[in-house]
Amino acid sequence: MLSGPVFAGSVDGPAIHRPSDDSTIILSLNASSTVVSSLSASSPQEHLDAAKRALVQFRRTANPRYLGDVERELAAIPDSDRSDQFYFYRASLKQSLHLFDEALADLNTLSQRGGDSLESLMMRFSISFVSGEYQDAEKACTALKNDQNNLYAASCSQQLHAATGDAEKAYHDLKLAMAKSGLLADRQALAWATGTLADIAERAGRDDSVAIWQLALQLEPDDLYTRARLAGEQLRLANYQDVIVVSKDYLAVDALAVSAAIAQKQLGEGEQLIAMLRKRFDEALWRGEILHKRAYAQFLLDIEQDAQAALVMAEENWAHQREWPDEVILARARAASRGAEPL
């Protein structure tokens, strides 16, 4: 599972109006969504602090304009002043943009400088795991065992076991590790472990998956990734009203908006949201910016009923990202393209 809400669905970019004159492109930004940059900063540390603030805001909002701020702040730092923080923040930026190879390159540089930390190792594990590079993920997980809080190591170890072996056993082993940590686990480690447990519960087909996602969201209410996974699992279980509730006020996030649109459609509603998503995805395609292909594949399959297009998008997504929901949408699209009922 990728760390934090970095993997929540993307928001739509600024509305693009294409006039009859193809030489002109107008980007319309409303005042409420404009991101204020702090390029007035003068020192490398000020630029790093500004980049960190922008990354935090991106994780809270999924607004990609904050990533533009991060990129500008980091670009203002001369090569001679690049610190461990610089490489970590740039890796975070690349991870957020799903440029996983580039993110790993920065993490490698950080490691060569002796700057590995709990956060950088968790990022390395997350990227390797999501990419399906399980041997690399195992190496990062092993390195995490040297940290005093071994709940992170237990989480990544059991997530690997669930993906490559017995998900039910991994579920019980992680739950036991969480019980042993008890009050010794800090809130962030407990939230990470709870989200991992929920992911494993989904893989194992357990009935308590929704309840565990709900607990994970209680621990980190601002985590958009957790919110999107909860909505997705509620949707799978046909808890349509619950999907609408958990997605309310978060429709700028593609994954949540698509789940809400499917739920509304099942209830005989959703025309306005579906029209908004069509426009959003059309503009993203025109810009060449379909960042989160999983949500788009689900939209094509469950809203547009275009199994072949959904399969193409799901396969493109699978080439780079291999979480459990990626596997599910790929299997559903393949089944639908053969004429079978979507799973």
CA–CA dist 126, 120 (Å, integer):
10
For 16, the 3-state DSSP assignment is: strand
For residue 177, report the phi and psi dihedrals to the nearest 5 degrees. -65, -40
Average pLDDT, the chain: 87
pLDDT at 329 over 80: yes
pLDDT score, position 163: 96
Give me the mean pLDDT over the 329-342 stretch: 87
Q: What's the pLDDT band for 204 if we cut at 50, 70, 90?
A: very high
pLDDT at 299 over 70: yes
Q: Are 337 and 311 in contact (CB under 8 A)?
A: yes
Give me the mean pLDDT over the 166-191 stretch: 89
Q: What's the pLDDT band for 13 if we cut at 50, 70, 90?
A: very low
CB neighbours of residue 98 within 10 Å: 21
CA–CA dist 66, 14 (Å, integer):
13
Q: Are 251 and 260 in contact (CB under 8 A)?
A: yes
pLDDT at 340 over 70: no
pLDDT at 268 over 60: yes
Query: Which among 178, 128, 115, 121 is positioned nearest to 146, based on CA atoms?
Result: 121
Measured between its terminal Cα atoms, the distance across the chain in Å is 23
Give me the mean pLDDT over the 285-299 stretch: 87
- Of all residues in the chain, the percent with pLDDT exceeding 90 is 76
Q: Which residue has the tokens 């940059």?
A: 37
For 56, the 3-state DSSP assignment is: helix
Query: Dihedral sign, CA of 279, 280, 286, 290?
Result: negative
pLDDT at 102 over 60: yes
Give me the mean pLDDT over the 242-261 stretch: 96
Query: Which among 155, 144, 209 is positioned nearest to 178, based on CA atoms?
Result: 155
Most trustworthy range by pLDDT among 41-50, 146-155, 327-336: 327-336
CA–CA dist 336, 36 (Å, integer):
45
pLDDT digits (tens, 9 = 90+) for 50-101: 999 999 999 888 888 999 999 999 999 999 999 999 999 999 999 999 999 9
**Of 191 and 24, more confident:** 191
pLDDT at 39 over 70: no
pLDDT at 296 over 60: yes
pLDDT at 341 over 90: no
Q: What's the pLDDT band for 31 if we cut at 50, 70, 90?
A: very low
Give me the mean pLDDT over the 318-331 stretch: 96
CA–CA dist 192, 172 (Å, integer):
16
CA–CA dist 242, 126 (Å, integer):
28
Query: Which among 200, 133, 191 is positioned nearest to 173, based on CA atoms?
Result: 200
pLDDT at 225 over 50: yes
pLDDT at 180 over 70: yes
pLDDT score, position 185: 64
Q: What's the pLDDT band for 213 if we cut at 50, 70, 90?
A: very high
- Tally of CA atoms within 13 A in the half-sphere of 181 that contains its CB: 23
pLDDT at 28 over 60: no
For 262, the 3-state DSSP assignment is: helix
CB neighbours of residue 343 within 10 Å: 12
Give me the mean pLDDT over the 306-333 stretch: 96
pLDDT at 269 over 60: yes
The β-bridge partners of 15 are: 28
pLDDT at 199 over 90: yes
Query: Which among 98, 88, 136, 111 is positioned nearest to 290, based on CA atoms?
Result: 98
pLDDT at 40 over 60: no
Query: Which among 192, 197, 257 is positioned nearest to 62, based on CA atoms?
Result: 257
Query: Which among 200, 267, 254 is positioned nearest to 227, based on CA atoms?
Result: 254
Q: Are 91 and 117 in contact (CB under 8 A)?
A: no
